[in-house]
DNA sequence: GGGCGTCATTAACATTTGTTGGGCGACAAG
DNA sequence: CTTGTCGCCCAACAAATGTTAATGACGCCC
């Protein structure tokens, strides 16, 4: 299980460095960033809708959801963030929150001042570019969510979400590919997938009955990776997760349907 | 109608400058960017899925859609871009296209080399930040689309889309607030709203019958702005469109439901 | 150890949206 | 002028998902 949470900035840096070229100086600058640790209870706002923030939130452990503007009680989770994710890096350039950030479980975050982030970005252009690229990757995930919610039926949608989370958890710890703690209730899942909670229940039952995945007690067990990838029409390229150097480090066989990341 | 398309870079610069602080030098740098004009026929790809591009596409006139990865024939439009939009600025930091770009009507674009964009970003940190911010605003629009597709019924969804487009067209030309050319077919609209074309037809008829909007012949006429804003639960803040200096320049009364952009 | 709240589960029924199939008008090509 | 295509429009029926309501399991607090 490795001794989780070594230094939150460490794992964030690794994620940045897997997508952007960053040197030793940049590494030092990231690792020396200031941060204020905070623990948040389940279903409590981390950032309120419309609030102007002066810091970004790095998730240390737990689970965070970004909630879209709900009109008449209807909520929609726009994105989720797990340990190692900077949940609102974009707030550095857009401090007026257009959506709320809420803990989906007991979560500990590190509040990182915008001023410090701007400072490292100003000083190291490679970091500025890496920050921009992270925002772009977040947008790519968002785009995939539009497709998921818009054009896939409940079963496919659920399978796709589970595949995405499996890949993301595995990227933080290669042990977590097929079995990971995902502390979201069925109501939360409903808000992610744009379904009702009871239909989520029906759908998860179907996946369980088909031997694809067991989502229970806030833990996800993938029982048949190839099966659930097929059921979810899942292609991980949009996540822009670099392949681990030793490719048997991954329990998850990528199976792109139509495109391959260029390797030149 | 103003003499449309003065200099495409001019209108793009104005949009950038409305959200970011850019000075005279930055202005010059943007205006002097190189660009290769191209005309694209309706329903032709501008960027293919998986293609690696070395330029971004600035829309001069017409309409462009970004298409999500469709699995089994099902298509989903993730975003649309009108004149004055840089359709894939994000490709500068993520050149492998995760989604296709397609013209929805006869469209003319300006291909701007990534090298030139990187150059101005490297040279002017304020431009680098402005580019990042544009990507963040695009992501905010995407987030709103997730909500729209996920949590609003067909009627609300259509009204919301029309409101969004009205605001965006008006931002490019204040005459275009209540009546604008929107050359998307009902099939395109279906792909934007995650409905079938026949249900789009039903829905537009309902909006017409209710005296809210007339969408016909690829032209949109908003008949009752307050009515359609209410029907679409529309709050324009996510678009991050600055208010014009003389506030009676706008035919569109913003009517935020729950939050106001900070004005300090 | 009992009571209480949250979460998961299921059933019966209601509603929205999709599907199929057809017709009509505009327009371009022959 | 004829034919074919495309886009819009509509109706009848089918399927997916939402709604409401009830129950049981579990953990927490007093």
pLDDT in tens, B187-197: 999 999 999 99
Rounded CA separation B167/B177 (Å) = 6
Length of chain B: 264
- pLDDT band with cut points at 50, 70 and 90 for residue A263: very low
Q: What is the pLDDT of residue A216?
A: 86
Phi, psi of A55 (to 5 degrees): -150, 155
In sequence order, which ranges of chain A are alpha helices (DSSP H)? 8-19, 24-31, 114-123, 125-151, 154-172, 186-193, 197-209, 225-231
Burial class (CB in 10 A: 0-12, 13-18, 19+), A201: middle
Query: Residues A138, A202: one domain?
Result: no
Which of B71, B135, B259 is opposite residue A139, by nearest beta carbon? B135
- pLDDT band with cut points at 50, 70 and 90 for residue A173: confident
- For A44, the 3-state DSSP assignment is coil
Neighbours of A168 (CB within 10 A): 21
Asked if A127 contacts A28 with a C-beta cutoff of 8 angstroms, the reply is no
In a domain, B172, yes or no: yes
The predicted model gives B115-123 an average pLDDT of: 96
Q: Which domain holds residue B134?
A: 10-147
In a domain, B1, yes or no: no
CATH code, domain carrying A86? 2.60.120.10
User: Is the CB of B197 inside 8 Å of chain A's CB atoms?
Assistant: no
Does residue A145 carry a pLDDT above 60? yes
CA of B150, closest CA in chain A: separation in Å?
Answer: 5
Q: Does the CB of A154 sit below 7 A from strand D?
A: yes
Q: Residue A263: its chain B contacts at CB < 8 A?
A: none
The predicted model gives A14-34 an average pLDDT of: 95
Query: Residues B69, B129: one domain?
Result: yes
User: Which among B15, B19, B44, B45 has a CA at the least distance from the CA of B30?
Assistant: B15
Q: What is the pLDDT of residue A6?
A: 64
pLDDT in tens, A202-227: 999 999 999 999 998 789 999 999 99
pLDDT in tens, B48-66: 999 999 999 999 999 999 9
CA pseudo-torsion sign B229, A151, A183, A134: negative
Does residue B69 carry a pLDDT above 80? no
The chain A residue lying nearest B145, using CA atoms, is A146
User: Is the CB of A96 inside 8 Å of chain B's CB atoms?
Assistant: yes
Q: Does the CB of A194 sit below 7 A from strand D?
A: yes
Asked if B83 contacts B2 with a C-beta cutoff of 8 angstroms, the reply is no
| Helix, strand, coil percentages in chain A from 3-state DSSP, rounded to 5 | 45, 20, 35
The predicted model gives B222-240 an average pLDDT of: 94
Of the residues A89, A121, A147, which one is the last residue of a structural domain?
Answer: A147
In a domain, A3, yes or no: no
Query: Residues A12, A92: one domain?
Result: yes
In a domain, A143, yes or no: yes
Q: Residue B74: its chain A contacts at CB < 8 A?
A: 151-152
More confident residue, B66 or A242: B66
Asked if B198 contacts B25 with a C-beta cutoff of 8 angstroms, the reply is no
User: Which among B39, B47, B16 has a CA at the least distance from the CA of B117?
Assistant: B16
Q: What is the pLDDT of residue B57?
A: 97
Strand C: positions under 7 A of a protein C-beta atom? 6-12, 16-21
Q: What is the pLDDT of residue A32?
A: 95
Query: Residues A190, A135: one domain?
Result: no
In a domain, B234, yes or no: yes
Of the residues A95, A130, A147, which one is the last residue of a structural domain?
Answer: A147
The pair of three-digit structure tokens given for residue B176, joined into one six-digit string: 């275009």
Percent of chain B with pLDDT over 90: 80
In a domain, A119, yes or no: yes
In a domain, B103, yes or no: yes
Does residue B260 carry a pLDDT above 50? no
Rounded CA separation B228/A246 (Å) = 56
- For A17, the 3-state DSSP assignment is helix
Query: Residues B165, B121: one domain?
Result: no
The predicted model gives B245-261 an average pLDDT of: 45
Query: Residues B117, B81: one domain?
Result: yes
CATH code, domain carrying A231? 1.10.10.10
Does residue B11 carry a pLDDT above 70? yes
Q: What is the pLDDT of residue A256?
A: 40
The predicted model gives B30-40 an average pLDDT of: 95
Query: Residues B140, B185: one domain?
Result: no
| Total number of domains in chain A | 2
Query: Residues A189, A143: one domain?
Result: no
Query: Residues A133, A181: one domain?
Result: no
Average pLDDT, chain B: 89
Of the residues B105, B125, B147, which one is the last residue of a structural domain?
Answer: B147
Q: What is the pLDDT of residue B191?
A: 96
More confident residue, A259 or B109: B109
Query: Residues B99, B157: one domain?
Result: no
Query: Residues B17, B142: one domain?
Result: yes
Query: Residues A131, A195: one domain?
Result: no
Burial class (CB in 10 A: 0-12, 13-18, 19+), A195: buried
Does residue B130 carry a pLDDT above 80? yes
Q: How many cross-chain Cβ pairs, A to B, lie less than 8 Å apart?
A: 155
Can you say how many angstroms the Cα of residue B213 is from the centroid of all Cα atoms in its chain?
20
The predicted model gives A73-81 an average pLDDT of: 92
Within the 136-175 window of chain B, which residues sit less than 8 Å (CB to CB) from chain A?
136-140, 142-147, 149-152
């Amino acid at each position: 299980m490795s001794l989780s949470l070594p230094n939150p900035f460490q794992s964030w840096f690794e994620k940045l460095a897997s997508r952007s070229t960053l040197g030793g100086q940049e590494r030092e600058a990231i690792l020396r960033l200031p941060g204020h640790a905070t623990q948040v209870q389940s279903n409590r706002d981390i950032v309120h809708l419309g609030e102007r923030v002066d810091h970004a939130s790095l998730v240390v452990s737990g689970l965070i959801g970004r909630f879209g503007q709900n009109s008449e009680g209807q909520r929609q989770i726009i994105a989720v963030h797990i340990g190692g994710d900077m949940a609102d890096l974009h707030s550095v350039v857009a401090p007026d929150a257009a959506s709320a950030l809420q803990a989906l479980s007991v979560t500990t975050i590190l509040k990182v001042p915008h001023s410090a982030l701007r400072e490292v970005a100003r000083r190291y252009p490679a970091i500025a570019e890496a920050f921009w690229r992270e925002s772009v990757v977040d947008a790519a995930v968002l785009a995939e969510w539009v497709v998921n919610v818009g054009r896939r039926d409940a079963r496919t949608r659920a399978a796709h979400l589970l595949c995405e989370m499996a890949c993301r958890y595995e990227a933080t710890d290669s042990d977590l590919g097929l079995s990971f703690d995902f502390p979201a209730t069925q109501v939360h899942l409903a808000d992610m997938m744009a379904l009702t909670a009871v239909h989520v229940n029906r759908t998860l039952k179907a996946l369980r009955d088909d031997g694809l995945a067991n989502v229970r007690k806030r833990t996800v067990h993938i029982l048949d990776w190839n099966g659930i990838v097929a059921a979810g029409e899942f292609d991980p390229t949009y996540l822009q997760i670099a392949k681990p150097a030793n490719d048997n480090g991954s329990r998850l066989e990528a199976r792109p349907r139509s495109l391959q990341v260029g390797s030149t």
